[in-house]
Amino acid sequence: EVAYMTPQAFCRYFKKHTGRKFISFLNEVRINEACKNLTAGKKAECISGVAYNSGFNSITNFNRVFKSVIGSSPKDYISSYNKVNSISPILGAH
């Protein structure tokens, strides 16, 4: 509406000018935000909460897109992140 184009016309315009499908770009932005939320703060949000807050309407779809963008499941991503961050202070202590 703001771009004065139909959604289909906008998607064609976006692909023509970026070489990427709009939905792929949008999913990448959503997953990058989800990664921040999964690992931020004292207590990370639950995976389902992050999925819904990132704009996904099902956990199944979130998990599928997350794995296609990041290369691992959200649970594995959190485990890897926590493992790296628990080792980093030890390595930096030398």
Q: Give per-residue pLDDT as tens, 42-78.
A: 555 689 999 999 999 999 999 999 999 999 999 999 9
Asked if residue 1 belongs to a domain, the reply is: no
Predicted local distance difference test score (pLDDT) of residue 42? 54
pTM for this predicted structure: 0.80
Q: Which residues form the domain of 14?
A: 7-92
- CATH number of the structural domain spanning residue 26: 1.10.10.60
How far apart (Å, rounded) are the C-alpha atoms in residues 87 and 94?
Answer: 12
pLDDT band at 85 (very low <50, low <70, confident <90, very high): confident
- Phi, psi dihedrals of residue 61, rounded to the nearest 5°: -65, -40
Asked if residue 33 belongs to a domain, the reply is: yes
Q: Is the dihedral of CA 14, 18, 21, 23 positive or negative?
A: negative
pLDDT band at 87 (very low <50, low <70, confident <90, very high): low
44 contacts: CB under 8 Å, gap ≥ 6: 37, 38, 78
Count of domains forming the chain: 1
